[in-house]
Amino acid sequence: EVSISSARASVMVYDDVNKRWIPSGSSSGLSKVQLYHHVVHNTFRVVGRKLQDHEIVINCAILRGLKYNQATVTFHQWRDNNQVYGLNFSSKDDADAFAKAMLQALD
């Protein structure tokens, strides 16, 4: 697998019961979020590790047809069968670069 994009973001998941975003993992904080491309199988996944303790806070396959929503300039979201994921980027540049890679992966 090759990393085709990397950004700093807080990884969030949507809590359906309480109707609010909560931090993914054991605590809040910035993570290094990477979009990986498996060249042989031509598949993609998003993996995020906390900068502080390297806890994996997201490991999500990115499938064709996924709707990547740029809700604001620094908050992007998408869903799979089980979960709604949100990335709260630390900068607009990180958000733009990650979105560009994500949209290319989905193309």
Q: Which domains are present in the chain?
A: 2-106 (2.30.29.30)
Q: Higher-confidence residue: 44 or 80?
A: 44
Q: Say whether 94 sits in a helix, a strand or coil.
A: helix
Exposed e or buried b per residue across 90-100, where buried means at least 16 C-beta atoms within 10 angstroms of its C-beta: eeeebbebbbe
What's the mean per-residue pLDDT of the chain?
A: 96
pLDDT for res 97? 98
Predicted confidence at residue 107, as pLDDT, reads 87
Question: Which of the four pLDDT bands, split at 50, 70 and 90, describes residue 49?
Answer: very high
Q: Is the separation of the CB atoms in 34 and 48 below 8 Å?
A: yes
pLDDT for 82 beyond 90: no
pLDDT at 64: 87
pLDDT of residue 29: 95
Flag whether pLDDT at 12 surpasses 90. Answer: yes
Neighbour-count burial of 2, counting CB atoms closer than 10 A to its CB (0-12 exposed, 13-18 middle, 19+ buried)? exposed
- Quick check: helix, strand or coil at residue 50? strand
**pLDDT tens digits, 30-44:** 999 999 999 999 999
